[in-house]
Structure 1
Amino acid sequence: MNKHKRIGILTSGGDCAGLNAAIRGVVRCANQQGWEVLGICQATNGLMADPPNAIPLTVANVDPILTRGGTILGTTNKGNPFAFKFPDGTVGDRSQDIINGYYKLGLDVLIGIGGDGSLAILHRLAKQGKFNFIGIPKTIDNDVGITERSIGFDTAVTIATEALDRLHFTAASHNRVIILEVMGRDAGHIALNAGIAGGADVILIPEINYKLENICNAIQERQKRGQHYTLVIVSEAVCTEAGENMTKMEQFGQCRFGGIGQYLSDKIGEATGAESRVTVLGHVQRGGISSPHDRLLASAFGVAAVEAIAREEYDVMVTWQNREVITVPISEAIKTYRVVDPEGTLVKTARGLGICLGD
């Protein structure tokens, strides 16, 4: 039996399916060690608060959350504590407030569940504050470095695949080109995986440059074969043919991807005369009940994080590699993000199936 430990856990960045399963995994495994777990509310904002905003987590209050979407702890993807924007518009460094919150709670270690950006910030805070930290990767984009899978990805692919399954019928009924725009800020994993699984005719991802002429030719070839409808799936980060990002400014000054689906629809309609429609899944991919695979992965990550604490192995991230969970140094995990390999197996599979990738 290891000596008593107090573990803090938070979820940071965008929400996704499977976060609650990871929280539950940590609490249940820590309970077997006789350790205490505190849930930090609203990510680092909870540690900034005075007193820190935290709640005790027990087996009794986390057991019902296995299938629940989102995160019971809340999260935020706005603001960098090292350049925190105050209500009056000024910017300041609030990193020390977060560090103070860690010590006020009497934590022995902080577990952070986040994407590459959140994990980089938490890693920097841990170094500055000299406290123990363990990372758990989550992102529907599946672009965290080193790990083959991140929490939330499988559910997002399942939802996008289901959307394609449904769009097949309406596209065929009206002889339309239907474009499905999916998330993927830096990588095209969702579009590629769902496109293959959902039977898309055209898959466009940011890692492979396309020409509109090639897409239009693919549509017209289908028409010649008597296939008068086409399904296109495109990652939100795909640029225009001229290489420009399709973005929009949101309420709080954040620049978000969005609009590539409509851009393609307009161009394809002009070039082919085909009737075209666009569906944008957006946050639907991040919500709802998590898939069985995401629950399994999140549970395994939660247990592995606690086991790392038992070994007093800190400054690491748990990862899925070669069908098992291992730990890697955080600095290595966040050094690069994981993009689609244009020469990888899934791209070769798409080409072998006759799917147009636009190049």
Structure 2
Amino acid sequence: MEDIFEFSELATQRRWLQLLVVFVLFNSTAATTGFRTSGLQFSTKSNVTVPTVIFTQISLEKCWEECTARVACPAFNYYNLYKLCELDILGNLTDVSTSQTFDQSGVVYWSKTEFPTTIPCGPAGSVNCSLGQTCDKNSGTCETKECGPLNVSDEILVRGNVNRVGSFIRLGCKEGYVPSYTRDIIECGVDGQWTEYDITCKRCDEGWTMFHSSCYKLFHHNVTWDDAKTRCGQANASLASITSREENDFINSNLINETTVDDIWIGASSREAERTWTWTSGEIWAYTNFAKGFTTYQPNVCLIVNVDIWYYSPCDFPFSYLCEKQI
């Protein structure tokens, strides 16, 4: 599972490389095949559909060999200070997809000028390696050593970019979304395919405000408590249930303070059972915030909130109402 966090460690190394740069000098046969020194370039995408293959403590020549042995590698970065090789592994073989440039020397960036769909391998090119395969020049065979790009929806956050066989990546949701899953970690399998995941990321509909896993909306129509309950149901919601101080403060700060409305129906009444308050959502009655003088139980009344304090009122009075629904 250590591979999950390898990306963040490498990002830290990159920052040091910006400060501790050294000029790369090399004299090898590889230099005649198209290498060039330039500013550091690499992908900074957070939603990684461009995974990376990383090698440590290898030479520049070996880094070049690893890239040219892969159909899916159009370019690489070589960090001389750490002897670190980073291959870009792309699904689109015509786009290197670099998005940030630094002017310091000390890092070699190399890109292919042609993007073939297969790579000859074996004696006299007797075997052709296809996308997703690597040519092992020692054995002359095509092997699967890493997985290709991830196809995830835009709201999913990919926490990691190491994609060699046996490595793991954790998936999450971008800010403003709520995740639902039983499998949020995927593995690069020996067949070069990522294992299945079931994470979905949801957010509130337009006009609704999110808190934890619920969405809230304040309606300014003055209706009775029963009408408010019905109208919330028509919006696939229920009258809001306030079950903690944190939730009460959130509603006051983000919804009630933004309006001039005074009294607002919320989802509790004392009509369902004798001497008992109940939430229409079925949530446990465990938190209260009644105003002074309203702490004594009163039968057959319904609950309202004014600023962040609770009151009760006859249920047939007309007030605005607050709906809540789960994401």
- Class of the TM-score when normalised by the shorter of the 2 chains: under 0.3
The structure, 1 or 2, with the larger RCO (C-alpha pairs under 8 Å, 6+ apart) is 1
| Greater percentage in strand | 2
The TM-score normalised by the length of structure 2 is 0.25
The TM-score normalised by the length of structure 1 is 0.23
